[in-house]
Amino acid sequence: MVTAVEHTRPTQTHLDSGRLPQQRTGPLAGVRIADFCWMGVGAVATRLLADFGAEVIKIEARDRLDMPRRLPIYKNELRSYGDEDPNPDPNKGGLFNNYSRNKLGITVNMKTERGQQLVRQLIAASSVVTENFAPGVMEKWGLTYDDLREINPEIIFARMSGFGHSGPHHRFKSYGPVIQAVCGLSFISGLPDREPSGWGLSYMDNQAAYYNSVALLMAIMQRNATGKGQEIDVSAVEAGINLIGPDLLDVSVNKATTRRPGYPNGNRLNNPQAAPHGVYPAAGEDKWLAIAVFDDADWSRFVTALGNPAWASSPEFADQSSRFAHQDQLDEHISRWSASRPAHESMELLQTAGVAAGAVRNSQDLTESDPQIDLRGTFFELDHPVIGMAKFEGSPMQFSRTVQDNWRSAPLLGEDNRYVFGDILGLGADEIATLTAEGVI
């Protein structure tokens, strides 16, 4: 693992004035969060709050860069995910820029007594503290919930971990793929008669993050009503279990075995018996089309859209149960039809006929050529001093009165030290300069 000893400390004179801290707008304006979160399970949760007005102050260390800063997911440079740069530029990483937009950023050396004092001062001036460290880190610093309540009696303390902070596994370390395995998602994923496939990326990081953000919002609402803070303990494993409800029901009620010959069955659907139901080849390299037909009415519309081909009148496809029993033959016919046409053209044709169908889109399709996504304004751009103009995904919801406050891309390392330690905590310029020189901030 690469560690950084020293990095350039930007001064305000080097930065565009549009990046200076400003009065926030939105429903969470006035909420200040001392944010220790780094990976997605925490960072995405606090990002959502920052998007809608919370003043999220990300706390980092110069001598141990956060993983999202180290991963070289760089604009206009192709690397494998997880292929670390041996000498990373802490301000260049696209993943960090995505996780930390609309946030402030400070650096503190928590190995020093003065650094810990400064963090306690910040907590006293905040209303929420968030963290998703490995178990034991906050305890080592003397920042348990009881400790925080002594500093700030009304504080909300949100802990976001893989297994939760109680139980026999609470000290186990985890990342997204581990969570996906432990919660049962990996076991039910994959192709027939094959090993569990797992998931390609840390999807549970983002899924659990939304539970974290909802928990924070509920705690803030309750404090607004009662004046009392609380500790929040969100387990990503338990968030994942919430995603496999139908499978749990099938096992508990029907005594079904999750993995059995021919199951998991990929894109096919057993209950209800849908056919055709799957992903089919389309014209072009690695292009695909998803189709879902659930009953005879769907089938009639589907066949009409295809021009009533002769094979569709075969006895094997006479009704839904017959089509389900002969899916292999059915899929061969549909694949020959779909492979001769562009996926988007087939989607338009089938959707116009009332059939559920969609072109399988890759990331480039979504960001550059999807008319629906473009009209909805799902993606937006922010400038960055090092990365330049970059595209971000927005929040998947729209309000008639509330607007997402996208005021800045992610903070440079220590970019807001002067504002936070000076304007918020009241340190003078000379003291800030001394603490910087001594490596405390």
Active site residues: 205
Q: Exposed, middle or buried, 414 (CB in 10 Å: 0-12/13-18/19+)?
A: buried
Angle, vertex CA 37, rays to CA 198 and CA 167, nearest 5 = 65
Residues β-bridged to residue 161:
235
Tokens of 439: 């490596």
| 281/105 Cα distance (integer angstroms) | 46
Instruction: Supply φ then ψ for residue 291, to 5 degrees.
Output: -135, 140
DSSP 355: -
| 30/151 Cα distance (integer angstroms) | 19
Residues β-bridged to residue 274:
269
Q: Could you check whether the bond before residue 276 is cis, i.e. omega within 30 degrees of 0? A: yes
| 425/433 Cα distance (integer angstroms) | 15
CB atoms within 10 A of CB 199: 16
- Provide the pairing of β-strand 55-60 with 156-161: unpaired
Tokens of 286: 């690695």
In order of 103, 287, 354, 363, the CA distances from 358 in angstroms are 36, 11, 12, 15
DSSP 18: G
